[in-house]
Chains A and B, each alone.
Chain A
Amino acid sequence: AQSVTQLGSHVSVSEGALVLLRCNYSSSVPPYLFWYVQYPNQGLQLLLKYTTGATLVKGINGFEAEFKKSETSFHLTKPSAHMSDAAEYFCAVISGNTDKLIFGTGTRLQVFP
């Protein structure tokens, strides 16, 4: 069965610091991987996705993620955090012949001035 694990339910960084949010997936077949962001009182918004091809994926707002098959990881990074990045971030996976998106438990990012 497919699943994702997000290490760290809370991450705190200073403004301008590197952001690293971790995601590991479990899938018996090549997965499609996604990162979504949820701002307070708003719906989920897609940051980026990996399907096939280039393993380094660039998304919106300066975020990027790298698919590493050997490590079954899809960590999300941003070189320099901004106050507006404070939100909940969810990693998700679709794999095989399933059609449903399976989410991790989320990581809340706090950015301090």
Chain B
Amino acid sequence: DTGVSQNPRHKITKRGQNVTFRCDPISEHNRLYWYRQTLGQGPEFLTYFQNEAQLEKSRLLSDRFSAERPKGSFSTLEIQRTEQGDSAMYLCASSLQRNEKLFFGSGTQLSVL
């Protein structure tokens, strides 16, 4: 069990650029979640996968955001045409099954200038 791994740890980009983050969940965890956290707030749900299927997407997630989990293992989160309001910590988590505890990665801190 090597834990949930996220890359990169930090990303600084200019407004309008596209960015992509990667998450490697704990092996054999079939559920994978993406959250966003801003300063002083709790993590906010974005989307989640069961294996390769994206089962739910937050209404807060604009069309500029897309997530994939092509082989049911790692996942990517892409943000197109970044805006300053996208600046946040993006957290990934995985779990073995429904209603079980989530294991979180250390996150990717995005700063949009």
**Which A positions have Cβ atoms within 8 angstroms of B?**
9, 32, 34, 36, 41-46, 49, 51, 90, 92, 94, 99-106
A32 to B44, CA, bound (A): 18
Q: Which residue of B lies closest to A101 (CB)?
A: B102
Interface pair B42/A104, CB less than 8 Å apart: yes
A1 to B45, CA, bound (A): 14
Interface pair A102/B91, CB less than 8 Å apart: no
What's the minimum C-beta distance from B24 to chain A, rounded to whole angstroms?
Answer: 13
In the bound complex, residues from chain B placing their C-beta under 8 Å from that of A102 are 45
Interface pair B43/A44, CB less than 8 Å apart: yes
| In-complex Cβ contact of B56 among A92, A99, A106 (8 A) | A99
What's the minimum C-beta distance from A67 to chain B, rounded to whole angstroms?
Answer: 15
**Which B positions have Cβ atoms within 8 angstroms of A?**
4, 31, 33, 35, 40-45, 48, 55-56, 91, 93, 98-99, 101-107
Interface pair B48/A99, CB less than 8 Å apart: yes
Tell me how many residue pairs across A and B have CB atoms closer than 8 Å. 53
A94 to B102, CA, bound (A): 11
In the bound complex, residues from chain A placing their C-beta under 8 Å from that of B91 are 43-44
Residue pairs across A and B with Cβ atoms less than 8 A apart, 28 shown, are: A9-B40, A41-B106, A43-B4, A43-B91, A43-B105, A43-B107, A44-B43, A44-B93, A51-B99, A90-B42, A92-B42, A94-B99, A99-B56, A99-B98, A99-B99, A100-B45, A100-B56, A101-B33, A101-B45, A101-B102, A102-B45, A103-B35, A103-B43, A103-B44, A105-B40, A105-B41, A105-B42, A106-B42
What's the minimum C-beta distance from A37 to chain B, rounded to whole angstroms?
Answer: 11
Q: A99-B48, A100-B56 are in contact. Are A90 and B107 (CB under 8 A)?
A: no
A49 to B99, CA, bound (A): 10
What's the minimum C-beta distance from A98 to chain B, rounded to whole angstroms?
Answer: 8
In the bound complex, residues from chain A placing their C-beta under 8 Å from that of B4 are 43
A103 to B107, CA, bound (A): 16
In the bound complex, residues from chain A placing their C-beta under 8 Å from that of B105 are 43
Q: Which residue of B lies closest to A9 (CB)?
A: B40
A36 to B44, CA, bound (A): 14
| In-complex Cβ contact of A90 among B43, B48, B101 (8 A) | B43
